[in-house]
Each structure stands twice: as structure tokens, then as C-alpha cells.
Amino acid sequence: MRRIPWGLLILVAAFCVPALGSRFYTFLANDVVIWALFATSLNLLVGYTGLVSFGHAAYFGIGAYTTGILMKKLGLSFLVAFPAAGLVAGLFAVFFGFFCVRLTRIYFAMLTLAFAQIVWAICFKWNEVTGGEQGMPEIPYPSFDWVEKASGWLPFLGGYRTSDYFYFLCIVLVAVALWVLRRIVGSPFGRMLTTIRENPERAEFIGVNVRRYELAAFVLAGAFAGLAGGLFGIFNRGVFPDFAYWTKSSEVLIMTLLGGMGTFVGPSVGAVVLILLNQQIVSYTQYWPLVLGSILVLLLFVFPGGLAGAVQDLWRWTQRRRARA
Amino acid sequence: MLEVRDVAKSFDGFQAVGGVSLTVAAGSISAIIGPNGAGKTTLFNLITGHLRPDTGRVVFKGQDITGIAPHDLCRLGMGRSFQRTNIFPRLTVFQNVQAAYVSHRGRGWSLFERVERLYADETDAILGAVGLLDRAGEESGFLSHGGQKQLELGIALALEPEILLLDEPTAGMSAGETRESIALIERLARERRLTLLFTEHDMEVVFSISQRITVLHQGRVIADGAPDEVRRDPEVRRVYLGEKRA
């Protein structure tokens, strides 16, 4: 059987969303795209290395503030501000991670949470730099003048809103980032991470320096979360302290679990489902957290591998049936 | 090749290992035996860096390795297996052994090449040697207990060790499985010119393949020598063989 290029199909479909003409759909799609990257970056830790972080929003927030400060206060180009988001978040992850990987399991999780709360508190209080409680509204969009010019001889590029152009940019950047992450988890390095997840003691005895690998995974996850945060600040038209708050950390963790941490696409599936579900349910009831909680309970007991895991199991089951028939 | 000098270790006042010395000659097969709770596994953990001894030294190939981290020890050429089976259960059989190659050959930090077929030939060769080649694609956690033990041996071999420490390699096996796996271990040690140090509670196994036996009882060495000497030792008969009959 030929392999279906799912990634490419989804990419093309994503590009078509603004053509539907609904500003709202594009908004939702953009939200999903950014969260997909955020959740996938967390999955590098949770799903591949077996480290549960309760403070992943810290790096998302740091990335968002980095981009926000560079673009709004210093007037720098997106071309500088976007990579800087990943870089700065990664540097913070080096520092925090250095301490976190010295602890295991629940202690690791609590320390990641503690650092995230410190980051949140700094964002909340350091008025001169972060805008404090009020946050930093009106982050400018990257300049899309060049697209306007190019649309002179590439007419299909013309006629979109700036937010649509930003959405296209997000798709491209997130696609590249996800591709890089995909390569990382499929690399020898990624295999070493899975040995740590499976059995850290044994991993030590095949020569894996567990702490160093864990730190590397932590930094990579932090950097990619930072990139997602950088995009989100612009998308959100502002950066606020709650980007780094623990509820954001739990939201992204739930997304990862819902989609399934056992697979690479799981967290992205989780992002799609959770955001669409939220959208639908909030219009009926204000008890979204109640619904979310029920979904989680169902998930943990019925589909411990998440939605993507359940689909995978179903697929394998049908394959086996076909093989037997 | 390996020398343990007077190592001791206590846990909360309980002396698990009290002043044990032993030497393992290159190319030899040596065993540490003793009843349950004699301190065999603790001694192993002291040698392989999982625990740091309170006193004493461990010297490997002329180098002091006391309390050195396991991943560094592994690089120096010491491989070990564990009493409680220790594999990577949700990886396939192939991936288990392959991971050991990737790590040992220093490719673990490679972020952008593809891992799938890396060291495939070497891995297949090891799987062939331990009799798991036809199960390479299976998730290793689903192997039988004996199969997992074989796999563990395969992982250890992939690290190309000079000395291999096996902690109760036949624990939990039936008599038939025990015979087979001992035959396998002996053959592999001979073919690969490995130095072997293993712990065991089954006397039959020990006497059949080892050249030197150290008997541990309550954390101390009560006898040390060739199998025949040890078998005749009155202290050993009293402590070990007598206990078995009771």
C-alpha cells in the first residue's frame, strides 16, 4: 500500500482555511496551529523522555515576552524576535532544567511548577519590562509589505487580511518546527530518550548519561515552547502574565494526554480537539471545566493512550482482522 | 582484571557487605554464591557504581573505579545484567539491543540522522547469538521471562564489554531453561573471550561452569577457591549445603 502523505494534506488544508472567508475559522485554526507546536514540544518531555513537567508554560511565556519586548519596545523585526523567543526560552530551560533533572518523578514535576510560578511572578510584577499585571498589549504584526509587493506578480497571494498573512506564516513556521521535532524523535538521540523513559537505571548501564540527556530534552522542549509562545503573543495581539501561569501548563498537559503522548501527532490532535470542543461547549454552558474533567476521567480509563493511541489501536485491530480473513 | 579490596556497606546500621575482597582474573569465569540475603546483589551494586562503598576500593584494569557513575563504567568495558529483569519494555526486541549499540558507539547525540537501520547488522548478529532473531520486531515487554533474560544478555553483549557481571542470570527459570541459558552464557563467554563474574543461588549451575567460586554469608567471604575446594569446605557445607537440605 502506498503511504498517504498526511502531513502534506493537512498542510494544504490548513492553507485553505482563510479562503473560506470566515475570520473566526482562521482565528481558531491559528490558535490550534500554535498550540499544536506547544503541546508537541511538551510531548518531547512527557511522551519521549518520561518526564512530566507541570511548568511548561514558563517557556511559552518567556518566548511570548521575548518576542513582545523585542518587537514592541525595541522595534526589532520578527526575523530577529522569533528565533530569539526560542533562544531565550532555551537559555532559561538550561538554567531551570539544570536543577530539575537532579530530581525524579513527582519532585521533578513540582520543581518545574515552582520555577514556572517564579517566572509568572516576575512577569506579573516587573512593570518596567513586562508591563506587569496589565501585560503588553498591541504587539505589532510582522511586516507583510513584501507579500503585498509580491502579489503584483503572484496574484493568489493578494487580497487577504494581515491576520490571514500571519496565519500563513504560522503554518509555515510551525510545520518546519514540527518537522524538526519529528526528526529529533526519530534520531539516535530520540531513541536514547525513549530508553530513559522506559528504564533510566538500565539506560545508565548502556552508557547513557541520563541527566545530561534529560537536560538536553528539557532545553529543546523549552526552546520549541518558546517559539510557540513567540507566535502566540503576536496572534493574541498582546502578551500577559497568565501565559506563564500554571493553568496554561495544565492546559497543555491535558492536550498532550488527550491527544495521546504515545504518538508524535497525538498532542496536535489534542490541540485540535480541545480547542474546538472548548469553542462548542462554551457556547452552551459555562461549565467548561466540568466537561473537561469528565472527558479526562473517561480518557484515563477508556483510552489511556489518548485519542491518537485509540485510533492506532483500532487501525491495528482492523489490520489483524483483515490478515486473518 | 577486576579487584575488590575490602569493601563494606551498611544500610541504617545493618551491615549488608562487611569487608569483602576478591579478584577476578582476565578470561576467567567466577561466581559469587551464597544464600538469599548474603549480600551478593549489594556487592554487585558496589562494584558497578550503583552504590558507593563506605570503605574499600574497586579496581578495574588498574584503574580505581570506586563509586564511578554507571554510564562511565560502561564505557570502560564493564557490562552487567540485573537480577530483576531489566529491559526497555515498550521498545521492540531489536530496538533494545540497537539502543545499546547507539549509546556505546557514541552516536546518542546525533539529532538529525535516522535511527531505524543504524547498526542493524550488528544488532541482528547479537539477536542471532542469543536466539531472539525471529522475534526482533516484537515489543520486548511481551517476551517470556526467559526471553527477557536472553534479551538482557543481548543488551549487555552489544556494549562489547571485557567483563560481564551477571546478577542471578537464571533467577526464576525452570530447570530446563536454566541449563539452556547457562550453556548459552558459557558459549558466548568463550566465543567473545569475556571475563565473567556472576552471582547465583543454584549450586549445580555454579559448579558446572565456574573456575573460581567465592562464598558469601551474611556479608562476609567464608570460602574462596576452585569449585572442588569450595565444595569440600566444612564451613560452606554447614552454612550453605546444610541450609539447603533443611
The CATH number given to whatever domain includes residue B48 is 3.40.50.300
Assign residue A278 the CATH number of its domain: 1.10.3470
Q: What is the residue range of B91's domain?
A: 86-160
Q: Which residues of A68-93 are buried (b: 16+ CB within 10 A; e: fewer)?
A: bbbbbeeeeebeebbbbbbebbbbbb
**Closest Cβ opposite residue B74 in set A187, A195, A207:** A207
Residues B99-128: pLDDT tens digits?
Answer: 999 998 888 898 888 888 899 999 999 999
Indicate yes or no: CB of A195 within 8 angstroms of CB of B91. Answer: yes
Share of chain A above pLDDT 90, in %: 53
* Cell numbers at B48, concatenated: 558497578
**Same domain, yes or no: B155 and B169:** no
Mutation site for B-interface testing, chosen from A49, A179, A191, A261 by largest number of B Cβ within 10 Å: A191
Altogether, the residues listed in chain B come to a count of: 246
Give me the amino acid identity at A250. Answer: S
- Same domain membership, residue B200 and residue B99: no
Residue the block writes with cell 501585560: A135
Q: Read off the C-alpha cell for A61.
A: 511565556
Residue where a domain stops, chosen among B160, B185, B202: B160
Res A178: pLDDT: 95
| Position with higher pLDDT, A230 vs B227 | A230
Asked whether residue B73 falls in the same domain as residue B177, the answer is: yes
Smallest CA–CA distance, residue A180 to chain B, in Å, is: 8
Average model confidence (pLDDT) across chain B: 86
Domain identity same for B102 and B151: yes
pLDDT the model gives residue B19: 85
Q: Select from B80, B95, B109 the Cβ nearest to the Cβ of A205.
A: B80
Q: What is the pTM of this model?
A: 0.87
Of A199, A207, A209, the CB nearest to B88: A199
Report the C-alpha gap between A153 and A149 in whole angstroms: 8
Count of domains in chain B? 2
Instruction: Tell me which chain A residues have a C-beta less than 8 angstroms from the C-beta of B118.
Output: 188
Query: What confidence tier does B181 reach under pLDDT thresholds 50, 70, 90?
Result: confident
Interface residue A183 vs chain B (CB under 8 A): yes
* Pick among A187, A197, A214 to test the B interface (most B CBs inside 10 A): A187
Residue A5 to residues A8, A15, A259, B66, B112: CA-CA distances in angstroms?
A: 6, 16, 20, 53, 21
**Which residue in A213, A263, A216 sits closest to A47, CA to CA?**
A263
B215 shares a domain with B150: no
As given in the structure block, the three cell numbers for residue B106 are 557514541
Q: Decide: A41 and A225 in contact? Cβ < 8 Å.
A: yes
With a cut of 50, say whether residue B61 has pLDDT above it: yes
Tell me, yes or no, whether A291 lies in a domain: yes
Same domain, B115 and B131: yes
Residue A1 lies in a domain: no
Q: Which residues of B touch A207 (CB under 8 A)?
A: 71, 74-75, 100, 103-104, 159
Each residue's pLDDT tens digit, A62-78: 999 999 999 988 988 89
Query: Are B147 and B207 contained in the same domain?
Result: no
**Count of domains for chain A:** 1
Nearest CB to B159 within list A183, A184, A207:
A207
Q: Answer yes or no: do B102 and A210 touch at CB < 8 A.
A: no
Contact A202 B87 (CB under 8 A): yes
CB contact under 8 A, B112 and A187: yes
